[in-house]
Structure formats: structure tokens, C-alpha cells
Amino acid sequence: MLLYSLACYLSTQYQKGVVFRFGRIIKTCEPGLRWIIPIVDQMRKVDFRTITLPIPPQKIITKDNVSVDVSAVAYYRVVDAIKSIVAIENVMSAINQIAQTSVRNIVGKFQLDEILSERETINREIAKVLDAHTESWGVVVSMVEIKDIELPEGMQRAMAKQAEAEREKRAKIIAAEGEFLASQKLADTADVMAAHPIALQLRNLQTMAEISVEKNSTIIFPAQFMSTVSEIKKFLDQENIHPSRR
């Protein structure tokens, strides 16, 4: 029974086995139940799934001399079982060390504004550097993502003030544009009134009618106002005869 347990190995779907005999690699085994010679053979299982590796926060000085705390995460997977065992002692630890160094070196080449706005570019550059290092270990780094960028308190306050100033600036621009459009409308109205004086009288009549309805009152016009009404009637008659003047 003891020999049976030593001779039998079970690898799951996402694993492969590397068999050593007297310290030398003799073969790799696909997933499933596999048999080896007890004592003489040894099997090491290798996980082929994508592994998530958190890269701890570290202080980095940007190109424009701002100190920031940057954390990231790397995604890698083994593609060559033999290389991942023979070429490197501890794949995860090695990738973690190189990832920290790469993040520090690459992020330090950018200014703060670039780091905040060009994360995708920085992520791709870090992943490219890591993948070049890990290729000989039988490992592929598929992606690196910067998770958090923590700024100094003073810098955060300054950026908040800048954002508030930008919002106020946009609000003032919108208000100024509204006032400009209103003044244009007033100027157009003044031009119409100057070209057709009767139009001003019509507007006055409309205003008085609105006031009488709102206040539920009666407005008494002086006798000389009838001449104004006659002029308005003539104006409307002319407009009906020559509609093209409108």
C-alpha cells in the first residue's frame, strides 16, 4: 500500500508533472493519473493557470520630482514546465522582485501628469520589460496594471483647488456666452424697432394687455391714443399687402 501511494500521482486539468529520475529530468506528464517508480523517480507539479501577483506599494520620485506611492498587479502564467523548475528557483518571488524594480524605474521616467493620464502606456511598457526577463524561465507576463497612485497631502489639496478653479472658469464662460446671446437678441430687437416704429407701439399695447389680465383691471386710453391705433392699422394693412417686407 505504501509503495502504491508513492508510485501514483494525480495531476489536475491545469497542471503538468515533471518527472526526475536520479536527479535528471526524463519526461513531462499530462494531466491525469500517472505512475512513477517509487524512490527512484520524483514528480514536480507545475500550475499552468494565470497567476495574480500583487506588487506592493513603493515610493517613487517622478521625473518632475514629486514623491508618489505606487502599487500594481502583474498577471503571468507558466508556458514551459521544465524551464520554470530548472531555470529559476522560485518563479513568483523572482517576478515580484523584478516587477518592483521595473515599476520604480519606468514610472520614474514620467512626469506626474503623464503618470495620471497615460497609465495604459506605462502598463504596457512594464509588462514588456517583465516579459523579456521571464521568457528564459518559461513564463509569460500577460499584463501589468498600476492599481493606485497615492499623492502627498499637499499635492492632493493643490489638485482639488485646481479642479475647483477649472469648474468656476467653465461656469463663468457659460454665463458670459449666455449674456452675449441675450445682448445679441436685444440688439436685433432694437434694430427691428428702429426700422418699424409702429412695432414699438404694438409691443406697448401687448404689455398693457398683459398687465390688465394679470391685475384684473381696466385700462383707459387717452383720446390722442386713437391716432396711434389708426397708424397701427395702416401698418398692418401694408404688411398684409406686401408680406415680402417681413
Residues 156 and 150: beta-carbon distance below 8 Å = no
What confidence category does residue 164 fall into, taking pLDDT thresholds of 50, 70 and 90? Answer: low
Per-residue model confidence as pLDDT tens digits over 59-68? 998 888 888 8
What confidence category does residue 23 fall into, taking pLDDT thresholds of 50, 70 and 90? Answer: confident
Work out how many domains the chain is built from and give that number: 3
Please compute the mean of the pLDDT values over residues 98-125 and round it to a whole number: 91
d(CA 51, CA 100): 17
Identify whether residues 176 and 109 lie together within a single domain.
Answer: no
pTM, to two decimals:
0.60
What is the residue range of 40's domain?
A: 2-47
Greater model confidence, 223 or 13: 13
Identify whether residues 90 and 147 lie together within a single domain.
Answer: yes
% of residues, the chain, pLDDT over 90: 33
Per-residue model confidence as pLDDT tens digits over 209-245? 666 666 566 656 555 555 555 655 565 566 555 555 5
Q: Which phi and psi angles does 76 have, rounded to 5°?
A: -140, 165
Identify whether residues 55 and 141 lie together within a single domain.
Answer: yes
Between CA 54 and CA 145, with CA 119 as vertex, the angle to 5 degrees is 20
Identify whether residues 58 and 31 lie together within a single domain.
Answer: no
What mean pLDDT value characterizes the chain?
A: 79
Identify whether residues 6 and 76 lie together within a single domain.
Answer: no
Per-residue model confidence as pLDDT tens digits over 26-42? 998 888 888 888 888 88
Question: Residue 110 is part of a domain; what is its CATH number?
Answer: 3.30.479.30
Residue at grid coordinates 461656469: 171
Q: What is the largest CA-CA distance in the chain?
A: 128
Identify whether residues 100 and 138 lie together within a single domain.
Answer: yes
Identify whether residues 95 and 126 lie together within a single domain.
Answer: yes
Identify whether residues 55 and 147 lie together within a single domain.
Answer: yes
Identify whether residues 142 and 192 lie together within a single domain.
Answer: no
> Mind spelling out the 3-state secondary structure of the chain?
CHHHHHHEEEECCCEEEEEEECCEEEEEECCEEEECCCCCEEEEEEECCCEEEEEEEEEEECCCCCEEEEEEEEEEEECCHHHHHHCCCCHHHHHHHHHHHHHHHHHCCCCHHHHHHCHHHHHHHHHHHHHHHHHHHCEEEEEEEEEEEECCHHHHHHHHHHHHHHHHHHHHHHHHHHHHHHHHHHHHHHHHHHHCHHHHHHHHHHHHHHHHHHHCCCCCCCCCHHHHHHHHHHHHHHHHHCHHHC
Domain final residue, candidates 151, 184, 206 = 151
Q: Which pLDDT score, from 0 to 100, does residue 196 have? A: 61
Task: Count the neighbouring beta carbons within 10 Å of the beta carbon of residue 94.
Answer: 16
Identify whether residues 133 and 175 lie together within a single domain.
Answer: no
Identify whether residues 163 and 241 lie together within a single domain.
Answer: yes
d(CA 199, CA 38): 110
Domain final residue, candidates 31, 47, 63 = 47
Domain final residue, candidates 15, 32, 47 = 47
Which distant-in-sequence residues (6+ apart) come within 8 Å of 109 by Cβ?
A: 63
Which distant-in-sequence residues (6+ apart) come within 8 Å of 163 by Cβ?
A: none
Identify whether residues 12 and 60 lie together within a single domain.
Answer: no
Cα–chain center distance at 7 = 54
